[in-house]
Amino acid sequence: MAVRNIAVTDTIEKFRTEFNAMTLNDFGDIANLSGSLTATNLVDAMNETLSVATNTAGFRIEDSSSSQQLIGGGEIFKILGTSNQINAVVSATDTLTLSMPNAVSITTSITAPTVSTGNLSLTNGSITDSSGSIAFGNENLSTTGTFGSGNITSSGNISGVNITGSGTTHTLGTVEISGNTIRSTDSTRININDTFRANTFETQTGLISIDETSGFGRISSSRGDNLLVFNAIPAFQGSSIIFEGATADNFETTISVTDPTADRTITFADESGTVISTGSADAVTEAMMANDAIGQNELKTVVTLQILNSSGTPLKTLYGAGA
């Protein structure tokens, strides 16, 4: 487009000629504008063309708040990753790769209907695993809250934990707890490998109890005759057995043995009666003596020997056994 210039001395015809040439050749015929343009004058057409060219050569980006940014031709659109959160890599041809590092740091919170990693899923306050179990390895598991339901299985230790069940029967391993009753589910015996203490030990019906009283260990029977049955020979480690008697007072009977120098056996006869000791006075009666004899005379037969004077009066009478 040539520069057109009207001198001061030029005629009106010169001005007409140059103006017509400028509108015809320099600006062009408006009828020749593209039908895609709506402008009806040169300035608007230029602005409209610039907008079309910009949108064609560049692009716009928009965020969730509808805020837009135009990226024009020749401009650089930068995507920067954040350490420990997102990796951004640009490569040929026209490729943008977004990824997460092996260790992701989230400084605020993450919200999602379900978070899945491998077989593990976290959703609505629940942790599940499609394999059917969740293993914590050798890590310690602690909570200040409550285990609500289900089974607790551990090959390690459960310490410092209060376990409260909402049902009536609970099982820990092969030990079942129902109310105040504890039993084994695979046998009729519960083994305790350490010292077990209780205020009182009782049999199932309370017939026998073991407790302490006045600083002494006590085995008691609830039978009216206070009878205890030993199906084995009781071996007492000490040297004495103390009997309280029918009245619990300050007087007891003690049976003691002298320290044996060999195995000794004392046998009680198969009969009812009273044991006679060296402290028994006038306790042996005639009926307690056997009918043994020296020759033909019974030892328990009382015989007398009298010493008489010359007139036949007894001076002395001697008594003896036998005749």
pLDDT at 262 over 90: yes
| % residues pLDDT > 70 (the chain) | 82
pLDDT mean across residues, the chain = 81
267-284 pLDDT, tens digit each: 988 999 888 888 888 887
Q: How far apart are CA 114 and CA 122, in angstroms?
A: 6
Q: Looking at residue 249, what is its pLDDT?
A: 82
- Specify the pLDDT at position 135: 82
Give the pLDDT band (50/70/90) at residue 211: very high
Question: Residue with structure tokens 């407790």?
Answer: 211
Structure letter (DSSP) for residue 31: G
Residue 124, both tokens: 């609505």
Residue 94 has pLDDT above 60, yes or no: yes
Residue 156, pLDDT above cutoff 80: no
- Residues 284-308: tens digit of each pLDDT: 777 777 666 556 656 566 777 888 8
Percent share of the chain, pLDDT over 90: 11
The whole-angstrom separation of Cα 27 and Cα 29 is 7
Q: How far apart are CA 246 and CA 317, in angstroms?
A: 47
Global confidence as pTM: 0.41
pLDDT at 237: 67
pLDDT in the model for residue 161: 67
Residue 233, pLDDT above cutoff 80: no
Confidence of residue 46 (pLDDT cuts 50, 70, 90): confident
Q: What would the pLDDT profile of 186-201 be if each residue is shown by its tens digit?
A: 988 999 999 999 999 9
Amino acid symbol at 219: I
Instruction: State mean pLDDT over 172-196.
Output: 89
Q: How confident is the model at residue 153 (pLDDT cuts 50, 70, 90)?
A: low
Pairing mode of beta strands 253-256, 175-178: unpaired
Q: What are phi and psi of 220, to 5 degrees?
A: -120, 150
3-class secondary-structure state, position 89:
strand
What six digits make up the tokens of 87?
A: 């990796």
Task: Give pLDDT, residue 270.
Answer: 94
